[in-house]
């Protein structure tokens, strides 16, 4: 029977319950300590395979307070106790969903889980990758297996050629606007078509990263090794010609609340902060796009730039991007998830508005419940930082 790519990797048909061996699990500093406590409670002394566990402290690094320091210590002690070698602590650290692909841990056809909802990012490399909770993480760490209900697949055929100034972030914001935050609930979102073929690997990760914002179980993109069968059965097929797609801005308080940049500019929204970074748009290509707009410019609002990993930070340093950011008046931080989840390094006060390249703009996501977050691409974020209002990057591009 023909299968979609997700069905092939999980070796089952949509709706079927299957137990599968896990190829890799990602652990970070927020959700893994509770899983460690569960393992101790049930007296599991050894993980199933320390070589298949990737540990990335990233949400509260460097430690922002006593509580986060305690979480980091629990994680560190457990890593040492279990002999886990893939441990990306300070100095070689970064946002987990950027670290794993960058360091070569992800391969097509894998089954990957992580105790973080944006683990769906790795599907851009042709694997099945999904987020799980701390309890499921404990089960995987103990047994190396997990139960799945094979999700039905939604196919997104993206055709045309992206206009200048429009990016992968705009594509996924547009799709989520069309189908809603529950439009892919417990389904696989499979992306293909000539637009996908034109994207870099980094840009593909941006799209799969936000599949969960439409409720998806996973996002996935075919490659030369792993593909859906030509006559595979999709629950639904969406055809979008993106030739006229404008840059998008998702207004508070949902990723589906998208407007075109033309509409956003007309609203004349003054902003208090810009954040460029996160597991969605903190990779080198994202920062390079922003730097091209910042060159010989000055920001009119506080602007925080955070490279997603140590290696990306180094590349920005080597290629002069850090100097461009600093000369423009930006603040550049060591890699961390901090601002994205309202943890540290850029928390919003009551009434403040932020343009962010991250993935969520829920109430209170980046700080005070009466603050507002507008999701956008690095180009829109940089253009807005320069003007002090939400702005169209196409008018600033050479």
Query: Considering the chain, what percentage of its residues have pLDDT values greater than 70?
Result: 100
Q: At 7, is the pLDDT very low, low, confident or very high (cuts 50, 70, 90)?
A: very high
Residue 240 · residue 172 · CB < 8 Å: no
Mean pLDDT of 171-178: 98
Q: What is the pLDDT of residues 19-53, one digit of tens each?
A: 999 999 999 999 999 999 999 999 999 999 999 99
pLDDT of residue 1: 86
Q: What is the pLDDT of residues 216-231, one digit of tens each?
A: 999 999 999 899 999 9
Q: What is the pLDDT of residues 83-123, one digit of tens each?
A: 999 999 999 999 999 999 999 999 999 999 999 999 999 99
Q: How far is CA 116 from CA 31, 130, 222, in A?
A: 7, 8, 23
Placement of tokens 């796009």 in the chain: 289
Q: What is the pLDDT of residues 264-319, one digit of tens each?
A: 999 999 999 999 999 999 999 999 999 999 999 999 999 999 999 999 999 999 99
Ordered structural domains, the chain, with CATH: 19-148 (3.30.499.10), 153-241 (3.40.1060.10), 248-395 (3.30.499.10)
Residue 176 · residue 208 · CB < 8 Å: no
Q: What is the pLDDT of residues 355-397, one digit of tens each?
A: 999 999 999 999 999 999 999 999 999 999 999 999 999 998 8
> How does DSSP classify residue 246?
P
Is residue 379 packed enough to be buried (19+ CB in 10 Å), middle (13-18) or exposed (0-12)? buried
Average pLDDT, the chain: 96
Query: Considering the chain, what percentage of its residues have pLDDT values greater than 90?
Result: 98
Q: Is the pLDDT of residue 185 over 70?
A: yes
Secondary structure class of 373 (helix, strand, coil): strand
pLDDT of residue 398: 66
pLDDT of residue 25: 98
> How does DSSP classify residue 72?
H
Angle between helix axes 32-41 and 66-82 (nearest 10 degrees) is 60
CA 123-124-127 angle, to 5 degrees, is 35
């Amino acid at each position: 029977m023909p299968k979609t790519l997700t069905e092939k990797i999980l070796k089952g048909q949509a709706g079927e319950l299957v137990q599968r061996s896990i190829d890799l699990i990602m652990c970070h500093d927020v959700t893994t300590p509770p899983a460690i406590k569960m393992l101790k409670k049930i007296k599991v002394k050894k993980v199933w395979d320390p070589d298949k566990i990737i540990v990335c402290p990233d949400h509260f690094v460097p430690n922002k307070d006593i509580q986060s320091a305690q979480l980091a210590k629990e994680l560190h002690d457990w890593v040492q106790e279990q002999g886990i070698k893939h441990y990306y602590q300070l100095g070689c650290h970064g946002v987990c969903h950027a670290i794993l692909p960058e360091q070569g841990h992800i391969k097509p056809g894998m089954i990957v889980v992580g105790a973080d909802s944006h683990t769906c990012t790795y599907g851009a490399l042709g694997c099945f990758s999904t987020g799980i909770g701390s309890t499921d993480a404990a089960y995987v760490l103990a047994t190396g297996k997990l139960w799945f209900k094979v999700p039905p697949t939604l196919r997104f055929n993206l055709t045309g050629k992206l206009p200048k100034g429009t990016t992968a972030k705009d594509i996924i914001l547009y799709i989520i606007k069309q189908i809603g935050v529950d439009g892919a609930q417990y389904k696989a979102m499979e992306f293909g078509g000539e637009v996908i073929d034109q994207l870099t690997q980094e840009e593909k990760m941006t799209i799969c990263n936000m599949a969960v914002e439409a409720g998806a179980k996973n996002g996935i993109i075919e490659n030369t090794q792993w593909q859906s069968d030509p006559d595979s059965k999709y629950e639904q097929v969406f055809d979008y010609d993106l030739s006229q797609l404008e840059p998008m801005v998702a207004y508070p308080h949902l990723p589906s609340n998208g407007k075109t940049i033309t509409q956003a500019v007309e609203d004349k929204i003054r902003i208090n902060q810009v954040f460029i970074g996160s597991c969605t748009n903190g990779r080198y290509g994202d920062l390079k796009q922003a730097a091209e707009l910042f060159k010989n410019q000055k920001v009119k609002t506080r602007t925080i730039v955070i490279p997603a990993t140590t290696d990306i930070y180094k590349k920005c340093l080597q290629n002069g991007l850090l100097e461009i950011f600093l000369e423009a008046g930006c603040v550049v931080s060591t890699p961390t998830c901090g601002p994205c989840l309202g943890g540290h390094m850029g928390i919003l006060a009551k009434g403040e508005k932020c343009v962010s390249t991250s993935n969520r703009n829920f109430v209170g996501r980046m700080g005070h419940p009466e603050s507002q977050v507008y999701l956008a691409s690095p180009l829109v974020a940089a253009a807005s930082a320069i003007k002090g209002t939400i702005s169209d990057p196409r008018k600033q591009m050479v």
